Structure 1
Amino acid sequence: MTGAIDNLVRLHRWTLDEKRRLLSDLERLATRLDEDIALLDAEILAEQDAAARSLEGAVAYPAFVAVAKQRRDKLVESRRAVETESEEARAAVQAAFEELKKYELAQASALKRAQEKAARAERLAEDELGLELHRRKGRS
């Protein structure tokens, strides 16, 4: 029976690890999106500064800003979607962790029962040996 429980513990530990990996990937993606948004904001400010200093920059700036704002909006939308997925992934990690703990507790309980059974069998064997020695001693 413990073999089956061991397999279930191994399966749930693997499942938990996979869910943690997915969450980690989502968190890295969120960080990268935040960095992309910050870089784009800095680029917009740099272009705004350049537009203020030259006529060519002033002419090109409105087109640049329109494209940059669309890109920023897409990045922000992606960031929100990743955050939603991250929240779901956190909940999945928590559920997988709780499920694993149930099986680990069952595994520990089965191990304890097996140890108690072995100890009981050992005590019975020792008691039998003691009785046999007592019988032999009484016959002599």
Structure 2
Amino acid sequence: MKSRTSLIRVQRFQVEEIQRRVADLERMLDDFRREQEDLEKRVRYEQEKAGITDEGHFAYPTYAKYASMRRDNLSQSIDELSRQVEAERARLADAFEELKKVELVDESARNRAKAESRRREQAELDEMAIGLHQRQSATAS
């Protein structure tokens, strides 16, 4: 019983750890997306300010070039991070499944132990009732 309890505790810890990792990755993903949107706004602002939208133009704003490159790098990072989030979610689903299996085995074992205990109690009560009946029958005769 103690080993099952320890196993359940370990499984829960693993599930919680993966949940924390998924939450951290999702926060990073949200941060990257916000930064990407901010960079997009900055690029548009610089383009409007300079009146030039062609990145190949010799007078294209330097900051807009930098922000554009940074935005593109963030897009790649977002794609990679999205794949990591999906992989962690799959691991989380597997960990939940394992936890449920262990919990079901533990619950089944507990139910069997309770049923066995009730069966023993009932057998003792039956034995006492039979003994009482036999004594009453013996004294009545």
Instruction: Tell me the TM-score normalised to structure 2 length.
Output: 0.89
Structure 2 counterpart of 1:127, which letter? D
Match of 2:4 in 1: 5
Match of 2:16 in 1: 17
Unpaired runs of at least 5, structure 2: none
Q: Residues 23-62 of structure 1 correspond to what in structure 2 (within 5 A)?
A: 23-52=22-51, 61-62=60-61
Deviations 1:72-118 (CA, angstroms, capped at 9, x unpaired): 12111111111011011011001001100110110110011011011
Q: Once the two structures are aligned, what percentage of the paired residues are identical?
A: 33
Residue 100 in 1 paired to residue 76 in 2? no
3-state DSSP class of the match of 1:110? helix
Contact 1:22 1:89 in 2 (8 A): yes
Structure 1 counterpart of 2:122, which letter? R
User: What root-mean-square deviation, in Å, do the aligned CA atoms of Structure 1 and Structure 2 show?
Assistant: 1.8
Mapped to 2, the partners of 1:128 and 1:89 lie a distance apart of: 58
Moved more, 44-53 or 116-125: 44-53
Q: How many residues align?
A: 135
Moved more, 35-44 or 21-30: 21-30
Deviations 1:44-74 (CA, angstroms, capped at 9, x unpaired): 1111111129xxxx98743222211221121
Mapped to 1, the partners of 2:135 and 2:119 lie a distance apart of: 24
Match of 1:84 in 2: 83
Instruction: Tell me the TM-score normalised to structure 1 length.
Output: 0.89
